[in-house]
Amino acid sequence: MGIWNQVAQYLYLKKKDPATPNSQFVKYMHGINRISILLFLAAMVILAIKLFRN
């Protein structure tokens, strides 16, 4: 699976692959990854706003 497909699945832009394992720890890992991607995107937006303000 490609990195862009995985990111799309984390952000609910694409349906999950039914062949992937479905355990509690995998759900926790995906949740933490989703939070980190969203925080990274928020930081990029903040940096872009600061860059264009100056």
For the chain, domain boundaries: 3-53
Task: Compute the distance between CA of residue 50 and CA of residue 9 in angstroms, rounded to an integer.
Answer: 30
- Give me the half-sphere count of Cα atoms (radius 13 Å) on the Cβ side of residue 14: 13
Q: Scan for tokens 């832009």, then name that residue.
A: 13
Q: Within 10 Å of residue 10's Cβ, how many Cβ atoms?
A: 18
Query: Given this model, what pLDDT does residue 5 score?
Result: 77
Distance of CA 30 to the CA centre of its chain: 8
Predicted pLDDT of residue 45: 96
Tens digit of each residue's pLDDT (9 = 90 or more) over 1-54 = 577 777 777 776 666 667 777 788 878 888 898 899 889 999 999 999 999 997
